[in-house]
Chain A
């Protein structure tokens, strides 16, 4: 669908209140379809032209015990008429499908917030299950909120009576009832959802019809009951001109890999093993074989990266995708790629650790693993996307470095951006970078012997030639043993080893990366916030708030973690205080302290959820005040 949205004002009828932004959280049992509900509302907001950001939050268990606190699944969506940076700290509207969802989420709803509750689930048994002694809908505990009690299951079953569907099947459509009600409240377009439901359940037309009916019933319920006095309107955002779509981080990464294959004119081979939250990259790439993409679901993490490296040796763009535990298993092969100096893109979608940790929650604690987690001196370039849509550019950048410098590259995404979504200004394909490579075709020995020296480096990039099997006269052997500089035979010579270790380091240190830019609108800031990866949104939102309060603060965000931009040291030196917020225990702070001797303030949190802008606003405000005091 394509909707043209100008900047004209929308008509505002009576009973319609204009808002510039709203945060809605759908919460229910993990079997209640909350992710689907949230996704659909997101698509509606996107189609309407709002800016948006989402935060899915679900348990690691596929079906945790029904009605329990650990089984609660939620989806938060922030949409606005201006460009926003985060899915929002706290919901304005909470939709709670059962007592567990209420209990797990009510703490986040600010006083005065709107609470919509599915009363059908508030039975004695369900209440006791989550430790409510009395029914919160009947006591005073929810007095601070605008509570709407809706018997969603009953109303849905009523609406579907004619369909002949079993009560159980009918009740399952209650999430669409909720979606219909919210769509009415916020004046959302509906055709998209109806079409989506018909396509999704194309093979089960009766289920498709039931969902559409439930969706309409929810809409009509809002329209006809007097419980909801007003509806709200959030106008389209004034985003930069261009064509947009909604995209999640993992999809954007997969598209980036497809594009890298096209732009380099190389086949892509993804060797991988399923792991949360990275598996969707495999699922997505497996759909695009027409772009010369081979996807190989290997027997384990090690085989996944092994196959990718083997393909790179053969002249393909080898890619592997995983999460932290998988990186641990792949480390030895990453080291082999460092030693054999072959291009390889390693996608790490970080999750809570250590060990199995929190598979479905987000964290940034693999930075030092990416940086140092191999035996020996094994430098690996690292890039990090800052938002879901940015994953596309980050993937292209990782491929550029891997192909230009003949090195494995680690890309550090995380669960928050992998599953979160936002509008993406779709780039013009003609403006994407040229990633074509040239393979070695001729002997290169400087001594005129007519031999091929696989480790003779390009003086500019220090990259070695990429001579793929099948090239006559360039037969050579590579491997994990130390190689002699230039000639590339096995060498145990002490001086050669010292030299090769330094050459590999120099190659990575010398990778050309763009300078770091600083956002400091007033130019008067004395405090710099330095971030990386998915904290970009909350850090940026917090900086805006600090500035709104009349204080100056500068923000810089690192795309490249190894090597750092050449001007980073100079940027850090310009500010009186540098604060580094991270979802780990201070890994970037450790690196900048070590490298630049800067007394950075490390602010950390490892709760499995992204920072809240409000929380960072407080931290930054205190630091800014401390400097000016």
Chain B
């Protein structure tokens, strides 16, 4: 097996997507469809954030595509005045992979949920991360099945009592960030539906990343799992639970920065109260580390009880994308061999019958 160095330049996520000089506003991204999520649903906030930040990208609207699967969040494309496909359960990453591979001039976004991405579509999710196709995946995690009216999901905490688990759920939940890092995703981030600023920052970083960017968004479902993330929003609680990441800065949190992430004796990461004695050992966040185990260790700081929840960009590294490489192979083949249909059909061994 020989590998070919394609000498691809380090491109941004939006390279090749035509830009627009037109002044755009959030309104331009609103479609004529009436939004039909339940009142108070966290999806509204995410939609507003996406519609609000899209104009900042300065892209031509017609070169943006939203692809979704099935679930409450997967209605998202209908509300965006871009191209869109509301596909079938779990398959959005696969469909988006074909689209992004065929069309380098598009900014392709996948909108999915915890059930869509991690249950029925788990295989496609990990493989798109592994391939590093130039896609942005927004995973709305509400830790419940909403559209089917309230069964537990693959991110529900163990013991969750729902319609389908009246005596409590039995299975261990996925941590989507850990899962993505296990698949060696090149960009992984987490944000809260309620934190517009952080969400916007993370979305912009994702858009500019070339490769598959997974953004987990904690999203409240007031109907079937209300308050699932309240502890991360309540004053007093949120300060000691939320661990925001900023690239190049020491990881400190708490109302007065009294906590921090430090290397523990075994070489792993843990949360500690920061004193003068250990202030020097606070980890400085570096999202660009090649080895995913550091970001993975960050993702493990918080358990299913949300005692600590790390947010922001865990990892953002450069790796050639599948779609760029696939297109480069086509170009290479074209350069080395003319597309001559006649000679293809004839091959090397023909014979002629004379009438």
A residues contacting B by CB (< 8 A) are 1-7, 43, 46-47, 49, 192, 236, 238-246, 255, 258-259, 262, 267, 269, 271, 288-294, 296, 298-300, 302-304, 306-316, 318, 332-333, 335-336, 340, 426-427, 429, 469-481, 489-490
Instruction: From the candidates A258, A316, A474, A479, name the one contacting B85 in the complex (CB within 8 A).
Output: A479
Q: How large is the interface on B (under 10, 10 to 19, 20 to 34, 35 or more residues)?
A: 35 or more
Please name 15 pairs of A and B residues whose Cβ atoms are closer than 8 Å in the assembled complex, sorted by A: A2-B350, A5-B351, A271-B94, A292-B334, A292-B339, A303-B127, A307-B98, A310-B67, A312-B98, A315-B102, A470-B62, A477-B31, A477-B84, A479-B68, A479-B78
User: Which residues on A sit within 8 Å (CB–CB) of B106?
Assistant: 314, 469-470
Inter-chain contact A303/B123, CB cutoff 8 Å:
yes
Inter-chain contact A245/B353, CB cutoff 8 Å:
no
A600 to B: closest C-beta gap in Å: 37
Instruction: From the candidates B80, B87, B349, B355, name the one contacting A1 in the complex (CB within 8 A).
Output: B349
Inter-chain contact B98/A290, CB cutoff 8 Å:
no
Inter-chain contact A269/B354, CB cutoff 8 Å:
no
Inter-chain contact A306/B78, CB cutoff 8 Å:
no
Inter-chain contact A290/B333, CB cutoff 8 Å:
yes
Inter-chain contact A478/B97, CB cutoff 8 Å:
no
Inter-chain contact B88/A480, CB cutoff 8 Å:
yes
Which of B140-148, B205-213, B217-225, B340-348 has 4 or more CB atoms under 8 Å from chain A? Answer: B340-348
Instruction: From the candidates B94, B334, B337, B352, name the one contacting A306 in the complex (CB within 8 A).
Output: B94
B337 to A: closest C-beta gap in Å: 4
User: Which residues on B sit within 8 Å (CB–CB) of A239?
Assistant: 353
Instruction: From the candidates A3, A259, A292, A307, name the one contacting B352 in the complex (CB within 8 A).
Output: A3
Docked Cα-Cα span, A262 to B334, in Å, equals: 13
User: Which residues on A sit within 8 Å (CB–CB) of B274?
Assistant: none
User: Which residues on A sit within 8 Å (CB–CB) of B346?
Assistant: 243, 245, 426
Known: A307-B98, A332-B88, A480-B86. A315 touches B103 (CB 8 A): yes
A166 to B: closest C-beta gap in Å: 28
Docked Cα-Cα span, A293 to B102, in Å, equals: 10
B162 within 8 A of A: no
Known: A310-B67, A311-B99, A311-B101. A290 touches B336 (CB 8 A): yes
B270 within 8 A of A: no
Closest-by-CB residue of B relative to A259 is B341
Interface residues of B in 80-137 (CB under 8 A from A): 80-88, 91, 94-103, 105-106, 123-124, 127
B256 within 8 A of A: no
Docked Cα-Cα span, A304 to B101, in Å, equals: 13
User: Which residues on A sit within 8 Å (CB–CB) of B60?
Assistant: 470, 472
Main secondary structure of the interface of A (DSSP, over half): mixed
Docked Cα-Cα span, A242 to B351, in Å, equals: 8
A481 to B: closest C-beta gap in Å: 6
Docked Cα-Cα span, A310 to B85, in Å, equals: 9
Contact pattern, B 160-194, Cβ under 8 Å of A = 1, otherwise 0: 00000000000000000000000000000000000
Inter-chain contact A470/B347, CB cutoff 8 Å:
no
Inter-chain contact B101/A290, CB cutoff 8 Å:
no
Instruction: From the candidates B99, B127, B349, B355, name the one contacting A43 in the complex (CB within 8 A).
Output: B349
Closest-by-CB residue of B relative to A298 is B94
Most buried by A among B94, B332, B344: B94
Instruction: From the candidates A2, A271, A475, name the one contacting B82 in the complex (CB within 8 A).
Output: A475
Docked Cα-Cα span, A49 to B123, in Å, equals: 51
Closest-by-CB residue of A relative to B65 is A469
Most buried by B among A236, A309, A312, A481: A309
A478 to B: closest C-beta gap in Å: 6
Closest-by-CB residue of B relative to A247 is B347
User: Which residues on A sit within 8 Å (CB–CB) of B315?
Assistant: none
B274 to A: closest C-beta gap in Å: 44
Instruction: From the candidates B78, B102, B355, name the one contacting A310 in the complex (CB within 8 A).
Output: B102
Inter-chain contact A240/B353, CB cutoff 8 Å:
yes
B329 to A: closest C-beta gap in Å: 6
Docked Cα-Cα span, A426 to B62, in Å, equals: 43
User: Which residues on B sit within 8 Å (CB–CB) of A245?
Assistant: 345-347, 349-351
Inter-chain contact B339/A262, CB cutoff 8 Å:
yes
